[in-house]
Amino acid sequence: QVEISYWINGNYKSKETLELVNSEDLMTNLELSVLEGTAWFDDIRVIPLQAIQNISLSEHGAIANAISQGTYMGNTQYASYAIDGDQSSSWSSQGDMPAWLKVKFDKVYEIEQVGVWWASHKHTFSIELSLDGNNWTEVVSSRSSNNSEGSAPVHELFPIDLTKAQYIKLKISSTSAPSSHIFQASVGEIEAFTDILADTVNLKFSIAVHQNPAATKYANIVVAAESPLQEAPFVSVKSAVDSVAVPMVLLQNSNTVYSGSYVFKSSSSHAIYSHVTTETGASKDSVRTVNVVLAKPAALTTVSSLDKKASLVITPKTIDKETYFISEVTTENGTEVYSFSPGISFNDKIQLEIKYDAISYTDVSKLFIYEMTEEGWMPVRSQVYQSENKLKAYVGTLGKYKISSNPSFEGYNRIPETFALKQNYPNPFNPTTTLQYDLPETDHVSLFIYNILGKQVATLVNGFQLAGKYSLTWDAKSDLGDRLASGIYFYQIRTSSISQVKKMILMK
């Protein structure tokens, strides 16, 4: 199978699986062709089937030794015969009892199954594994073999709990051979099985980019593995202007985390390639692609994700020095997650926009942009622009964001398409009334109350407001806190482009 995540003609396809045909041959190259349109390939990986292999073989570098080596028909039956892959050749002990046969593998493996081919005689035995050849763990307790005296070779397999080991030992306490027999123990093969692809498939490591908050062009690339590596990971960064190898060094007080310095030089996509190899020899490659944008003071700059669905608007008031912004899109549990950095303080809040797929939601008015915090995913005050299939929010710091619906939300996030000042209710009223208005654009808004003589008596709103639907209650009090007399009053709303007035009656 091949798993592919990609963008094609503006649409993101996450982790699509393709079945390979005629895949019995060794695959050394994989070619993907875009027959129509434009595509960006984000992540391509081959998913192998499980491959169980006996690593207790001389052809795989295993070495065997035993308490002794018997003879049969004048031929020595060496310990190496028990790891040659040929069940018809066997090792035997000379006459010693108890006896043992020990095998050292070429490296440490995670063993999930052991086995024995019995050549002749019935045996009472146990099997142990060890990491260092000194400290042993019994994985098959003492028991009798299933063969009978003089039978053809019999194969026994024993599934065990996954155990890391570089040694296996077969301990034989007795056999059915008479004490006068030319040999006692008789073993065709001793086996240890591992999934040779498990280390590679399960090998997990992460890549992080940490910008210097004082000078964002400088960054540390950090590779963190779940288990110790044979050597420092190989890391390179390819941008529009160059491809640079990043020397990695092990962090102090850690045996799994490496760091290397990198300098951003251009606004472009940057592909961060890494290759790691564990102490057990498993290796894995990863490519992480981010978009890098240089924003300059006094300039309007847009920082977009590579799939063009999320963006930041950096206004002239946001920064006071050149700043490199990084964006990345990943998929978590089937949902696109957008990450932006640097994580520094800005002079003004930053406008964040994320587009959504309209067919995925039944009620877009309950959509929110969520931000990852120490407490988990938390909703940010959001605006839904239904005609453009996008959400907008204003954030003070940068981090990870996604779109999600909140079915229990009783409000209304969808932005109205036209301005409206609605009639207050109830009207006439005493002592309170509700005023509502729709604001299609973020703007400075003032809402004042005037008496019949045109004198301003109360201020309900006077400041910057996000686009949306608003509702507020007036208690018929003046700005000084005095209760106003019965009569006719006017309420006027003003924005940068609109002014509207409506009449209401206070009747006591």
Q: pLDDT of 423-465, one tens digit each?
A: 999 999 999 999 999 999 889 999 999 999 999 999 999 999 9
**Domain residue ranges in the chain:** 1-47, 53-196, 205-295, 302-405, 420-506
Q: How confident is the model at residue 201 (pLDDT cuts 50, 70, 90)?
A: low
Rounded to an integer, what distance in angstroms lies between the CA atom of residue 211 and that of residue 220? 6
Three-state DSSP class for 475? coil
Rounded to an integer, what distance in angstroms lies between the CA atom of residue 255 and that of residue 157? 37
Which residues is 138 bridged to in the sheet?
128
**Distances in whole angstroms, Cα of residue 222 to Cα of each of 159, 258, 293, 489:** 39, 6, 21, 65
Condensed to tens digits (0 to 9), the pLDDT of residues 284-338 reads: 888 889 999 999 998 999 999 999 999 999 999 999 999 999 999 998 888 899 9
Rounded to an integer, what distance in angstroms lies between the CA atom of residue 89 and that of residue 106? 22
| pLDDT of res. 58 | 94
What is the topology classification, in CATH, of domain 420-506? Answer: Immunoglobulin-like (2.60.40)
Rounded to an integer, what distance in angstroms lies between the CA atom of residue 176 and that of residue 158? 22
| pLDDT of res. 197 | 63
Range scoring the smallest mean pLDDT among 59-63, 68-72, 127-131: 68-72
| pLDDT of res. 274 | 93
| pLDDT of res. 356 | 94
Range scoring the smallest mean pLDDT among 45-59, 172-186, 411-425: 45-59
Rounded to an integer, what distance in angstroms lies between the CA atom of residue 113 and that of residue 244? 44
Domains 53-196 and 205-295 share a fold: no
| pLDDT of res. 25 | 42
Residue 183 has pLDDT above 50, yes or no: yes
Range scoring the smallest mean pLDDT among 28-42, 115-129, 435-449: 28-42
The mean pLDDT of 223-243, rounded to a whole number, is: 91
Please identify, in words, the CATH class of the domain defined by 53-196. Answer: mainly beta
Phi and psi, residue 499, nearest 5°: -140, 125
Supply the pTM of this predicted model: 0.61
Instruction: Assign domain 205-295 to its CATH architecture.
Output: Sandwich (2.60)
Residue 26 has pLDDT above 50, yes or no: no
The mean pLDDT of 214-231, rounded to a whole number, is: 93
Cis? peptide before 98, omega within 30° of 0: yes
Instruction: Decide if 70 contacts 94 (C-beta within 8 A).
Output: yes
Instruction: Assign domain 302-405 to its CATH architecture.
Output: Sandwich (2.60)
